[in-house]
Amino acid sequence: MKLDLNPETDLSFTRTLAVPRSLVWECWTRPEHIPHFFVPAPHKVTSVEIDLRVGGRFNTTFDVEGNVMENYGVYLEVVPDEKLVFTDSYSEGWKPAAEPFMTAIVLLADAPDGGTSYTAIARHRNPDARKTHEDMGFADGWGTVATQLEAYAKGLGR
């Protein structure tokens, strides 16, 4: 699955993970797994709520250096084992956010040797928001998340 990317507003990267696609999907869609990979260590996810359906909530709370960050969002598209699209532009019930940050797209496909081709895309409302995210360390942050996800999924032993 390929999406047209706008270099002025979109950031993305693709990596091959050495774990099966079904396990990557499980990690992304079950709340008990999210705290193990979703933010770069040493930051922590302290709360997760998932209602895995279009319009369903994807809420997380982070502890970043002692600061609590609450993130409210919804799923825009759910294609089992292939695609997740979620945004903080809305919260459950389609309530608009005052200051949305991005829409995230996670694409999964089979890779050789039973692995997963993993693509993460962050779409922003304007070039300034994209630049802010890039300057915050999109590549390193989402790369670290992918590394943590792979290590955690391998440890599940499935």
In tens, the pLDDT along 16-75 reads 999 999 999 999 999 999 999 999 989 999 999 999 999 999 999 999 999 999 999 999
Sequence ranges of the domains in the chain: 10-155
Pick from 27, 47, 46, 29: which is nearest to 37 by CA?
A: 27
Residue indicated by tokens 């609590």:
68
CATH fold of the domain at 10-155? Alpha-D-Glucose-1,6-Bisphosphate; Chain A, domain 4 (3.30.530)
pLDDT tens digits along 92-142: 999 999 999 999 999 999 998 999 999 999 999 999 999 999 998 898 899
Global pTM value: 0.93
Pick from 45, 12, 10, 5: which is nearest to 28 by CA?
A: 45
